[in-house]
Structures are given as C-alpha cells and as structure tokens.
Amino acid sequence: MYSPFVGAVAGLFGSMVGVGGGIIMNPMLLNICRTIPQRVLTGTSLAAVFSTALASSSTFASSSCVDIPSTVLISSSAMLFSPIGARLTAILDCNTLRACLGYFLFAAAPLVPLKAMLISSSDDDTVNTHESSPSWMESIQEMPLGSVIKMLGIGAVAGTASGLLGIGGGTIVTPMMALTTTLDHSVVLGTSLTSMIPPAMTGIVSHYYLGNVDMRLAAGLILGTSIGGFVGSTCALKAPQGVLEGIFSLGMIFLGRKTLASVASK
C-alpha cells in the first residue's frame, strides 16, 4: 500500500530536479521495509528509477525538450565508465570523494539560477532539439568537437561516480549540463533523465538475475514513479521562467546535505 506513495514522491522530485529519485526512495524504504535486505531494496529501487526516467523523458520528448545526440553520448560514456568506477573503490577513499560531491552540489545550487539570469538559452552549443531532420548519428557528426568531448566527459564523470560512490548518474549529469551548456533548463532535465534509461535498464537486468528485485514492491514503486514522473515533468514544462532553476537549486541543496550526512554517519 505504501510503495505507490513512496514512488510518487520520488518520481515527482526526480522529474523536476533531473535525478532518478533513488535518494528519496531508499531512505523511505529502509524505514518502512526493515525486513528486506539492502541489496534487494537497491535492485528494486533501480526499477523505479527506470520508470521515473521513462515517464519523465517521454513527457519532455513530446515537447522537444530532449537533446538526443547528447543523450546518446552521455549514456554510452556513462555505461563504459561505471565498471571502472566500481574497480576504483579498492583504491580511492570514497568518503573523501563523496564529501567533494556534496560540496559540488552545494556550489551548483546558486550558480545554475545565476547562470540562467546571465545567459540566453538561445545560444545552445549543442544540436537544436526543435529542428526536425537529421538522424541522431548525423546530428552527432555535425556537433562541434568541443561539444562532443564535453558530453562524453560528463558521461564519463557520471559513470565513474555512479560505480565508485553508488549514486545515480543524474546527480552528476544535471548540474554539470546546467553549468557547462547553454541549453534551456527543461532540455537539461529531459536530456539527463533520458540518458539514465540505458544504464538503469542494464542494472535492473543484472539485479534481477541476482535475485535482488522484489517484484511486488517494484510494481507499486513503478506505478507511483510513473504517475509522479508524469506530473512532475508536466509541471516542469509549464513552470514560469526561473521557477525550474529555483526548484533545481533547492534540490541540489537537499542532495548535497544528504550526501554530506552520509559521510558524517560513517
């Protein structure tokens, strides 16, 4: 009974901030489902992250707010670097890196609204998503080399951080895209959420075969996140200029606080 509500809250938050919502779901599920092992909660919540991304990205895509070439570059790079991040856990101090991430999120919180005030979104340095025509492969070939390297780099950082710190890629992708591109913030959200779909799908398959997915719990979470993701992304598209950046700023402060709190508790 509780899982659709948990999913709806996570989907609403995730779709308006540009993250999968796992950082909302996991603590709530841990408090409610005390008898379910952490590995099962992790695998099951990944299914809900996938449905949040799918529902939200569908809404953003219907309004031409997804940059497909950037999505392809980011997600492919993230999937390539995620296993590398996992291997680095044996070498690097994850707590120090997690603390750095927390401070980065705090820094991004005021910078993104400030950037929106200073630059016009009409100067996009990536492919214009409102122009129909070339395929995504042709669009990538037409992208400036600097933009291609930038998107691959964002995906590499997100994938490495995901494998190393166990966080969702959107926590890295959304603020980095918001700070380093001149894309409209709704396009940043749509692109970030869409780029989560392939990595989340492969993760779900892996967890399913490991027996780490509770199908009954997953069904309720998927129902909730689908509704929350749709509502949140619809509201995001209709939000007046500046409101989305404000919501994002508050979301980054929340995520930064949660990240630093996780370091302090260890």
Q: Check residue 66 and give left, alpha or beta (phi > 0: left; psi -120 to 50: alpha).
A: beta
Residue 60 φ then ψ, to 5°: -65, -40
Amino acid letter, residue 74 = I
pLDDT value at residue 123: 46
One pLDDT digit (tens) per residue for the chain, 266 residues = 688 999 999 999 989 988 888 777 877 887 787 788 878 887 888 888 889 999 999 999 999 999 999 999 999 999 998 888 878 877 878 788 878 888 888 888 888 777 767 654 444 444 444 444 566 576 777 788 888 999 999 999 988 888 777 677 788 899 999 888 888 889 999 999 999 888 888 888 888 888 888 999 999 999 999 999 999 999 999 988 788 888 888 989 988 888 888 777 76
How far is residue 194's CA from residue 72's CA, in Å, rounded to a whole number? 9
Residue 169 φ then ψ, to 5°: -65, -30
Mutual orientation of helices 68-88 and 145-165 as an angle, nearest 10°? 40
Q: What is the pTM of this model?
A: 0.83
